[in-house]
Structure formats: structure tokens, C-alpha cells
A and B are shown apart, each in its own frame.
Chain A
Amino acid sequence: MMKALGPLSRRRFLTASASLGIGTIAAPYVARADDPTLRITGWGGKWGDIMKAEIGPAFESEFKCKLQIDSAFPYLPKLQASSRSAPIYDVMHTNSNEQWAAAEMGLVEPKIDPKLVPNLADVYPYAISDKIVGVSIFTSAIGLGMRTDKGYNGVTSWKELWDAKYNGVRGGYVIPVNSLGQAFLMMCGTLFGKGQTDLDAAYMALEKLKPIKIVDFTGAMEKMLLSGEVGMCVIHDSGIYRYDGQNQPTDFVSPSEGVLSLEQVLTITPGSKMKELANAYVNYMLRPEVQKRLAETVWYSPANKKVKLDAKYDAKLLTTPEKVSKLIQVDWKWYNERKDEIDQRVNRIFRA
């Protein structure tokens, strides 16, 4: 597939860099001509380990370049502070809501060109839907996480979370700073009102969710569920499945109303001097073998339809059109436009 793009020859980079000679003065980080560097962002943890150990080096040797992975969060404020003509990253990897904010500020390109990234032809529709800027390379399903040792049986609906028996062991997120919390707020509108955008219904539902233990990132929720501090919570499937094989008394519930989509999105910055390499990277991340390796490491559902996961993963992740159809995508553009107003409201709702 990559052949179609043509080889990324050294000379091309030389000319590309030379033509930008003046830009170099204003640009803090232009790669040296003899060593093209693609600057990307990426998660830490197991994802980071495997990127550094296998997937990154394989990309570097195939495309004769260096990958510089920034895994120090938060990425967007750094991109925001850097010059538009010489952005700090070529490819940004982060969650969908931040990608939308970045696209609105003109920091990332809203779409990826399928001619330059041939693997886009093989992704599920959600990955390049109108709810996505760039392309979603993986997704997780946001649903309910629960303890299996507390006799909570027959949980099938999101509405179960409001049951009084979970008072004291109910878990949620800090909505202003957490994607899962924000997606869940939209779900509340769907569950108790006219739809995702029914904020008043959502606020009322959140009010009734108290008492609730709220955390700002999912790792903390995983810990609280594992230690029994929380018995029923909003969580993404990978946050439960990653403990597979450790005999933890926890399980993931896919509610009948559908699961929310937590996309891992790649975008390219408009000012990038490494456009060709950037597109090559996006394409590379969508390759079936790369997708399979990462999916089976961190329990993310691959966006590429052609990926065949091992049975254990295939059984739990969203790997068929039918399973993928249960995904509910959030309209982040709509949400971000109202973020300040929503933050104000939920800050008050959850104030102690």
C-alpha cells in the first residue's frame, strides 16, 4: 500500500527543509535535513512501551526517519502555545473532544486525505464519520463497570446506575476535565430527555446521581473498582479488560441503550513540514498487523475492518459491523461550544 505514496527519499526532505529555511528562524523544532524527524504524541503505559519497543522502531526503519514521541500530557496546550507555521507536533494523537477543540482553533487539519492514506478505505464508518476530525484508529466502549462479588446481577441498562443500592459505591468522572464524564453527560440527555443535547434533563439526572465518587482520570477509577471502593461506575471496556487473567472480581457491562465511543484520534497539523511522513504514519497505524498488535496489548477495538484478533480479544472487543453499530458517538463540536456553560453547571452540581 505504501508503494503508491512513493518512497520518501532523502532528497525530498532536503528540498522540503531548504525551502523552509526562513521558517526555521521562527520554528523551534525543525528536524535536521539529514535526519527527518516526525514529532507525534502518544500515550504512556503499555501503549507507550510497545510503541517504543516495536511499533515505533519498525516505522523508523521502514521510512528512514526518527519518531519523536511526546508522552507528557497535556498535548493540546503545548500545540496551542507553539507557532502555527512551525507546530510542536506533526501528528497529534488524543481523544476526540480535544481533537475537535484543536480543529476549531485551526491547530489540526479537520480531515485526512484518503488518497494519501489508503488504509482509510478499510476503516469502519464511525472512524471517519462527521463526528470525527482526522481519523479514529481505535475506540473503546464506554459502559458500566461493576464488581462481580457483590451480588449485582442482571445489570443491562445505564439507568441501573441511579439505583439507590449503589449509594456510596457509585463512581463517575469530573466532567469538565474527563472525556468519559462528558460523553456520559450526553448519554444522560438521551436516557432521560429528548436526546444527547437535552442538557436540562442531563443536569437533573446528574443531580439524582449523588452521592457519587468522582475522579479525574480513568486509572483512578480502575483502582477504586479493584479495591472495592466503588461497586458500579462509568468506565471504558479496556479499563476492565486489561486486568484479564488476573482473576479480578470486576466486569464490564455493555448497556442495552448502547455504548459510548471513546475514540483514539490521529490528526495532522497544518503547519507540519513532514506532511508526507505524517500521512505515512497515519496509514501505518491503520495497518492490520499494527492494529492487531496494539489492540491485543491495550484492549482497544481496532478501526480497521480487516483486523483479525485472537479469539479471546475478538470475543470482547468491537470487531464486527454488528458490534460496532452499538457505538454512540458524541457531537463534540456541539459540546465544546457549550463547554464553559456546562462546566459552570456541573461544577455547582458536584460541589461538596
Chain B
Amino acid sequence: MSSTATTRPNGLALFILPSALLFTLFFFLPIGLMALMSVLTGNPVVMPKVAFTTRHYARMIGDPFYLEVIWTTIRIGLVTTLVALVIGYPLAHWMARIRSRTGHALLLMAVLAPMLTGIVVRTFAWMTLLSDKGVVNQTLISLGLISQPLKLMYTETGIVVGLVHIYVPFMVLTLTGVIGRIDERLEQAAENLGASPLRAFIEVTLPLSLPGILAGSLLVFALAISAYVTPILLGGFQIMTLPILIYQQISANFNVGFAAALGIVLLMISLLLVIAYNRALGLVSGQRELQ
């Protein structure tokens, strides 16, 4: 994205080396092992005799169930990202524009709090809120708004609610930085020229915050498609996603090869999406630089 991309790498390029080493030892090697196990009949590290096999991938392709699961995973990821963006944006905007230092600190804490509750405890809290006898249903029934409890848990809706809650902070904090850098005077100038605040927002703030929107969405999407504690507890295994299947294969079926194959497929799909997304991000920031 640098405008001098055509020149040779300079001394600063060396700063990538520590991370490259970390990735080689603790990511490429382990994931390589997993990729290897996904095409072998057993674990090459501890077993003397293993043979090459394509059965794990054949199993995935041969049964529409797995394709449905992949689609469900991506669908939940997309919906979660969209909802996180819609509710994260106003909050990020407020955080970026609030003038009081205390107010900002309080908002920051409120945004960070969901990340600090602990994944398991937080999900139990959602179960308390969303279950048939949960706070939400009890409140709605006592207000006379509904007579039968709404089915909020063990549905995709429940999973999305839980995921949005955990990942909104990532969206907000990514967006806040970007919105904060947009000069407030631009919005005011637009309004002074007669634009409504909504219009000023749509035509000034929103386009300028696009890089933040893309970066935040990418982060939330990556996290949402790989999440498994929340989809398990709030979906009760009645909604199958790829990470749940992987968890099940590792911890209950002890079929690491198949779990690895599922993981590799998930990673490939996500990487493709991310590269496409990054290209879009590059395009947007490129345009901004041109203008």
C-alpha cells in the first residue's frame, strides 16, 4: 500500500523477522503437521506406520451435510459481522466524538467489559437471559407482550446475539481510531453548507471511515467463523458449525485427521475471503491516496 512499492526492501524490512520466526515455529510447523495428518491414516509423530489417504476430504465432499455446515458457518459469520458493524458504528462514533475525558474512560470500560467476563461465564449469562424462563422472556411475558416464550436459544439468532456481544468491542475499537481521525470540522462544514446531519454523515463520515469498517469487519468475521464455545452453549449443538464439528471430532471421536481436514478447509475459505477483502481495502485506501 506504500506508494514506493516498486523499490527494493530496505532495512526496516528486517523487523518482520522475529514475527516470521514465531510464525514458522508456532504456526506453520504445527499447522503443517495438522495438514499432514489430514491426508494420513494416523498420527505420524507417534505412530510408526501411516499411509497416505484422501478419505477425510472425500468424506467431506461426499456428504452434503458438511457443505451445509460450511455454509451455516459462513452465514453466521456474515450476519454477525453485519450486526456488529451496525451496532458498533454508533458507539464508535460516540466514543470518537465524546469530549469528556471521564465519559470516554467510562465508555471504553463499557466496551471492554464484554471481553473481560470470561468466555464461559459470559455465555452462561446469555443462557440466563435468553432461555425460556430467562430474563428476556419473563419480562416480555409479565409485560403482556407475548404469551408463549420466544425461542431465543438453540437458534442461529441466539448464536449471533452471543457472538455479536463478544466481538462488538473489536469492531468498536477498530472503528473508533478511524472515526477519531476524521476531522469533525468536515461534518460541520457539510452542515453549514446546508446538508442534513444524516446526509453529512452518509456523504462525509461514512466514506472516510470505510477503511475502518473493512478492517473491523475482517476481524469480526475471522473471529466469528472460528468461534466454538458460544455456538456450542447457545446453539446447544442443534446448529452445527465447522468449529463445533472440529471440537467434536477432537474431543469425542478422537479423529484428529478429520478434524484437521475440516480445519484446513475452514482456513482456506477464510483466507480466500480475507485476501479478497484486503484487496477491497487496498482499493479503498488507494483511492483515498490518489484523491
Contact = CB atoms under 8 A, between A and B. Distances in A.
B253 interface: yes
Contact of A105 (B237, B240, B254): B254
A174 B236 contact: yes
B34 to A, nearest CB: 11
B251 A343 contact: no
Given A80-B256, A216-B232, A229-B131, A350 B237 contact: yes
Nearest to B132: A229
Contacts of A157: none
Interface string B236-276: 11111000000010111111100000000000000000000
A83 B238 CA distance: 36
B248 to A, nearest CB: 5
A213 B236 CA distance: 8
Given A83-B46, A177-B248, A343 B240 contact: no
B42 to A, nearest CB: 9
Interface in B122-141: 131-133
Nearest to A26: B46
Contacts of B237: 174, 176-177, 214, 216, 347, 350
Interface string A153-187: 00000000000000010000010110000000000
Contacts of A77: 250-251, 254, 256
B253 A339 contact: yes
A352 B133 contact: no
Nearest to B59: A340
A76 interface: yes
A147 to B, nearest CB: 12
A215 interface: yes
A348 B133 contact: no
B254 A351 contact: no
Contacts of A343: 248, 253
B250 A344 contact: no
Contacts of B65: 344, 347-348
Contacts of A4: none
Interface string A224-245: 1001110000000000000000
A45 to B, nearest CB: 15
Interface residues of B, number: 28
B205 interface: no
B278 interface: no
18 contacts: A77-B250, A77-B256, A81-B45, A81-B46, A81-B256, A82-B46, A83-B45, A84-B47, A101-B254, A176-B248, A177-B237, A216-B233, A224-B131, A227-B133, A228-B133, A229-B132, A344-B65, A352-B235
A74 interface: yes
Given A168-B132, A228-B133, A214 B236 contact: yes
B251 to A, nearest CB: 4
A89 to B, nearest CB: 14
A347 B65 CA distance: 10
Interface in B98-142: 131-133
B155 interface: yes
A270 B124 CA distance: 40
A342 B232 CA distance: 19
Nearest to B239: A352
Contacts, number: 75
A227 B43 CA distance: 44
A350 B237 CA distance: 8
A347 B156 CA distance: 16
B63 to A, nearest CB: 8
B221 interface: no
Interface in A104-159: 105
Nearest to A350: B238
Contact of B253 (A168, A176, A220, A351): A176
B236 A176 contact: no
Nearest to A347: B240
A350 B235 CA distance: 11
Given A177-B237, A352-B156, 12 more contacts: A73-B251, A77-B251, A80-B256, A81-B43, A83-B45, A216-B233, A229-B131, A340-B255, A347-B65, A347-B237, A351-B239, A352-B155
A73 B155 CA distance: 27
A76 B237 CA distance: 21
Interface in A304-343: 339-340, 343
Query: Nearest 5 CB-CB pairs, A to B?
Result: A352-B238, A174-B237, A177-B252, A74-B251, A229-B133
B154 interface: yes
B204 to A, nearest CB: 43
Interface string A21-53: 000000000000000000000000000000000
A348 B63 CA distance: 12
Nearest to A75: B251
A214 B131 CA distance: 12
A351 B131 contact: no
Contacts of A229: 131-133
A173 B256 CA distance: 23
A339 B154 CA distance: 24
A229 B252 CA distance: 27
Interface centre among B43, B252, B256 (most CB of A within 10 A): B252
A213 B149 CA distance: 14
A340 B249 CA distance: 9
Interface centre among A213, A348, A352 (most CB of B within 10 A): A352
B24 to A, nearest CB: 21
Contacts of B43: 80-81
Contacts of A213: 154, 236
A76 B253 CA distance: 10
A53 to B, nearest CB: 25
Contacts of A84: 46-47
A112 B56 CA distance: 35
A251 to B, nearest CB: 20
Interface centre among A214, A220, A347 (most CB of B within 10 A): A347
